[in-house]
Structures are given as C-alpha cells and as structure tokens.
Amino acid sequence: MTYSIEDVFLIPLFLQFLALMFLGWRYRRRGYHDLRAPKAHIFRCSQCRHIYIDNRRVPLSKCTKCNTLNEMIRR
C-alpha cells in the first residue's frame, strides 16, 4: 500500500483534529469553566478566627463554628 503526498499530510492533521475534538469534549464534560472561575469564597470569622469556604455568592456568611456573620476576604 502506498501513500500519496496528500495522505502523508492529511492523516496526521486529521488525527490531531480528532484529538482536539476529544479534549474539548472532555473538558466540557468535566466543567472547564468551574476550573477557570472557582465559585468558592473565602471567609474569616472575626470572632473565632476560623477560616471557611462558602460556595454561595453572598456578601455575608455565617461562621460554621460560632454562627457569627462575616464579610468575604478580598483576594
């Protein structure tokens, strides 16, 4: 079996295209956007200095240990 010059160039190109499609599909399935923009917000309790994470987008969050309302730490 012999390959023409078009096959020599097109087959690797086609395989790379397939690999890109596969990677794109995998990242979309895993939630690529969650990795780029994490939803977790860090809070530090002013009462007991406990540091915790709240996934909700709220300006104030209750401390998980002593229930004091705390502001989000600016990053």
Using CB under 5 A as the binding rule, whether residue 73 contacts Zn ion is answered as no
| DSSP-assigned beta bridge partners for residue 61 | 70
What span, in angstroms and rounded, lies between the C-alpha atoms of 64 and 48?
Answer: 10
Query: Can you tell me which of 44, 50, 54, 72 binds Zn ion, judged by CB under 5 A?
Result: 50
Query: Can you tell me which of 18, 48, 51, 58 binds Zn ion, judged by CB under 5 A?
Result: 48
**CB 68, min distance to Zn ion, A:** 5
Query: Can you tell me which of 26, 28, 39, 65 binds Zn ion, judged by CB under 5 A?
Result: 65
Burial 44-53 (b: 16+ CB within 10 A, else e): ebeeeeeeee
